[in-house]
Amino acid sequence: MLYVIAAFVALFAYLLGSISTSIILSKSIYGTDIRDSGSGNAGATNMLRTHGKGLAILTLICDALKGAIAVILAA
């Protein structure tokens, strides 16, 4: 049973990590894909360059929370 729980947690953490916060935020607020502008990367630095500090900080916080949730769930 422990292996099933571990596999579920690993799968959930993988799926959680695959969610791109910057793409979701840029499409929902500006209607554009962040990968089409700036460096083309979907990350907080490109959000800073393209949409400013506010969305960059929000992207960074959401990405950090995704990592924290995965670690807490695994613990």
> Whole-prediction pTM value?
0.83
| Section 56-71 average pLDDT | 94
CA 10 to chain centre: 17
- Residues 10 and 5: their CA atoms lie apart, in Å, by 9
Longest dimension (CA), the chain: 47
In one letter, which amino acid is 48? L
Q: What is the pLDDT of residue 75?
A: 81
Encode pLDDT of 32-58 as tens digits. Answer: 999 999 899 999 999 999 999 999 999
Between CA 25 and CA 11, with CA 13 as vertex, the angle to 5 degrees is 125
Letter string b/e over residues 26-55, b meaning 16 or more CB atoms within 10 A of that residue's CB = beeeeeeebbeebeeebbbebbbebbeeeb
